[in-house]
Structure 1
């Protein structure tokens, strides 16, 4: 009996092969619930409405947390169904560390933390805003998000190199700008971390205007950095574009079939 229940729950929550037709309704229900939960959190920040309807908001929160808690426990319970690699306690731990499962945990954690921590801690109010992370649960039901995640994994080495290069550029630019501007503007460029704020704003081409160089060398460095920043941020975009092309090609190759007679590869659009 438990095995039968576990199988049904697995098909409803985790199976992506559409064997269980009711799984679509479960996913739709959870998506609607996530959107409603995030909407209530946003509306609750309006103090006049929050005070007037405090009990209603609290009731909604109890309902949302109850559903999401049951969902989290159910997903953790069925993770080893038909799969030997998730057997035992270690398997449950590995599944709990899955990014989607961590997001699910963060979605319900702010509700339970005040029961285990002193109520006079001010940061608990900020933790409650973590309920907005429930919107990230939508990634579980979005094919586009899963494709994006696959592309990032495919190109993680190249993206890491690009990020490392960007970090080195940021440190060098901040150090040079601190050296050039510290005497002319000691309040704005008082340290390398202060200069790093300017470098980030310049590299991203945002340019708030709250900090800018006034010396000749500082302006020269800023001009060079502004031009270089466009290229540096275009590099990850190019890597991701190549990743999407490569991912699409691999997916098409997996769909190709071989002729049972001669063993030749049959193109995906060949219906003969």
Structure 2
């Protein structure tokens, strides 16, 4: 039985494993669609009953998959606390919590159902390459995030001293200036808060130049890591 389950739930070249993988992927997408339908206003009670039945069916299958993976895992604690183990657990958690908690008052818990989308990473080769690329580039990404946070704070301090006297209602403190800093460095530019002094505009010009680089750097890091992640698999093939 353990060998059969292992061949069923873990990806391999058998027909049963592929069919099971396609079935789980279909249920993931189907459950996410029904989750979206639940948010429609004025749904008929009969419709909600159907949606709840579909949700219960999906969770039963996901629970079976989760328990089967634990059962066949060589190192059970390692799987439980792995990325996919945590995702599998969070995908079914809201359903069981609903028996003791009114999830209408805890919408955040309902949002945990969206973690089911991450389960698709296990079954999609391209998404697995992307996940591997993120692991390869984790040190560079962490370094980039630290530098970005430093730049955001630096920009917030700079614009505060340039604009506080002219626009005290928008740049009341450095904390208020952080919003402008984030929007500017990410090149979003909502236009709700902008500098009006000469010094502030010149400072913003340089921050915008830095922002263009901030947007481009992650693209280079991830593309390079994707190449490294894909090359070993191509050599095997």
Using structure 2 for the length normalisation, give the TM-score. 0.92
Q: Where do 5+ consecutive residues of structure 2 fail to align? A: none
Partner of 2:120: 138
Q: Where do 5+ consecutive residues of structure 1 fail to align? A: 81-85, 87-91, 256-267
Aligned counterpart in structure 1 of residue 184 of structure 2, from 177, 180, 202? 202
Partner of 1:262: none
**Larger mean Cα displacement after TM superposition, 171-180 or 235-244:** 235-244
1:93 maps to 2:77: yes
Aligned counterpart in structure 2 of residue 6 of structure 1, from 2, 5, 28? 2
Partner of 2:28: 34
Aligned counterpart in structure 1 of residue 12 of structure 2, from 3, 13, 17? 17
Using structure 1 for the length normalisation, give the TM-score. 0.81
In 1, Cα distance between the equivalents of 2:118 and 2:210?
Answer: 33
Change (3 A) 1:193 1:123: farther
Higher relative contact order (CA 8 A, sep 6+): 2
Q: Contact conserved, 1:43 with 1:50, CA < 8 A, in 2?
A: no
Partner of 2:87: 103
Shift of 1:214: 1.1
Change (3 A) 1:215 1:50: farther
1:236 maps to 2:218: yes
In 1, Cα distance between the equivalents of 2:46 and 2:200?
Answer: 55
SS in 2 for 1:53: helix
SS in 2 for 1:49: coil
In 2, Cα distance between the equivalents of 1:40 and 1:251?
Answer: 36
Alpha carbon RMSD of aligned pairs, Å?
1.9
Larger Rg: 1
Q: Contact conserved, 1:203 with 1:230, CA < 8 A, in 2?
A: yes
Partner of 2:228: 246
Shift of 1:29: 0.8
In 1, Cα distance between the equivalents of 2:132 and 2:12?
Answer: 18
| Matched length | 237
Q: Contact conserved, 1:9 with 1:78, CA < 8 A, in 2?
A: yes
1:67 maps to 2:51: no
Equivalent residue runs for 1:180-195 within 5 Å: 180-195=162-177
